[in-house]
Amino acid sequence: MPTAEIAGVTVDVNEEGFMTEPGQWTRAIGEAIAAELEITPMTEAHWKLIDFLQKDYAEQGQMPSIRRVKNAGGIPTKELYGLFPDGPLKKASRIAGLPKPSSCI
């Protein structure tokens, strides 16, 4: 299992840089990944999504879809794309220390 040093801490990641142990996540790590993805600054609205993703993943055991972020998280899709341009859930999941969302079926 590869590791990466993020915000001075060694964490487990996969080949695409997604953290594999949610327990290792801290807000400082989230800030550092966001900076790497050029999402700066992380505003309250950004964190609202990160908090929702982490809460929903813990409760549901899977990554929410864009539709669920809108319905259950109360974040309109247009706003989502404004906050995290180009593949918002992929970027936000990485910042949140969660798996890459699979829209796969």
Partner 1 sequence: MKQLVILGAGTAGTMMANHLARKLDKKEWALTIVDEHSTHYYQPGFLFIPFGMYDEKDVSKPKAAFIPKGVTHVQEAIDLIKPEDREVLLKNGDKLPYDILIIATGAKIVPGETEGMLGDGWRRDIFDFYTIEGARALRERVRSWKGGNLVVHLNEMPVKCPVAPLELTLMAEAFCTRQGVRKKTEIHYLSPLSEPFTKHNCAVVLGDMLDGKRINFVADFQCERIDPENRKLVSFDGREIEYDLLVTVPTNMGDPCIARSGLGDDLNFVPTDMHTLQSKAHENIFVIGDATNLPSSKAGSVAHFQADVLTENIQRFIAGQPLEPGFDGHANCFIESGHNKAFLIDFNYEVEPVEGSFPLPVVGPFKLLKETWINHMGKLAFRWIYWNMLLKGLPMPGISTRMSMVGKKTAK
Closest approach, Cβ 61 to partner 1, in A, equals 11
Closest approach, Cβ 39 to partner 1, in A, equals 15
Q: Which long-range contacts (CB under 8 A, 24 or more apart) does 44-53 make?
A: 45/79, 45/83, 46/83, 46/84, 48/73, 48/75, 49/73, 49/75, 49/80, 49/83, 49/84, 49/92, 50/92, 50/95, 50/96, 53/92, 53/93, 53/96, 53/98
CB neighbour list of residue 37: distance below 8 Å, 6 or more residues apart: 91, 94, 95
- The region of 6-14, 18-26, 42-50, 72-80 touching partner 1 under the rule CB under 8 A is 72-80
Q: Which of 50, 80, 95, 96 binds partner 1 (CB under 8 A)?
A: 80
- Taking CB under 8 A as the rule, which mask of x and - marks residues 12-51 in contact with partner 1? ----------------------------------------
Size of the site for partner 1 (CB under 8 A): 17
To the query of whether residue 11 is one of the catalytic residues in this protein, the response is no
> Mind telling me the catalytic residues?
104
Q: Which residues bind partner 1 (CB under 8 A)?
A: 65-68, 71-72, 77-78, 80-81, 85-87, 102-105
